[in-house]
Amino acid sequence: MLITEKLAKSIISPSKVFTWVVNPYTGCAHNCSYCYARFMQRYSGHKEAWGSFVDIKINAPELLEREVLHKKPDRVWVSGVCDPYQPVERKYELTRRCLEIFADSGWPVTVQTRSPLVLRDLDILKRGKDFEVGMSITTADDEMRKKFEPSAPPIGERVRALDELHHEGIRTFVMIAPLLPGAEGLADLLRGKVDKVIYDRMNYNYGDWVYRKYGLEEFRGDEYYEQTVKVLEEGFGG
């Protein structure tokens, strides 16, 4: 993994999902095969493949302290094209420091991650005025997770993190995107641990080779999506 410290020019950007987005890192060590953010590689200046490099925006907190004073406070997504709690966060704590600034400034925040490292920052998440945490979980089958998300945390660890967050009074959601083989079992794992469930019908073409390699083509497309969503909605109680 190539780790590079860089100085960013700005840190709060407009988002098509929420009003704002903050990405403390460029690149992601989780290296999920289907990741929609792989298009960022062409703008990164890296020749290395997506998933093999992470740029550390070491001045992100300092930029944020200035930018929150000049931007209209509204919901901000942490993060859109990287995981804010990927392994380098344990050392650099950029996400933690940014969340502290948002909490002190009263901004509403949506954190989205695949990592139980988010539990480290429970103190800040509980202090935030309107904070919520979403965990991306694509399947209940950890063997399937290893095929598509080989460097991401195990499913059980993510479920336990959601459970603890929910128990501590943090508003939680699960993002099931894409619906990988075994996703139909997620209702049993997550019932009572999340306030909201989000599905995504997109098939991320970057991951097509994984479906072909393991003979899983039948688990792609609209038919599988519709069947799985029906099972999940019944499991979550509508």
* C-alpha separations of 123 from 6, 28, 62, 88 in Å: 28, 25, 21, 20
For residue 52 the two structure tokens come to 């093999």
The pLDDT of 134-155, averaged and rounded, is 97
Which tens digits make up the pLDDT trace of 203-221?
A: 677 889 999 999 999 998 8
Q: How many CB atoms lie within 10 A of CB 211?
A: 20
Is pLDDT above 70 for 39? Answer: no
Identify the pLDDT of residue 113: 98
- Is a pLDDT exceeding 90 seen at residue 70? yes
Mean pLDDT (the chain) is 94
Q: Are 174 and 162 in contact (CB under 8 A)?
A: yes
Complete domains list, the chain, with CATH:
2-235 (3.20.20.70)
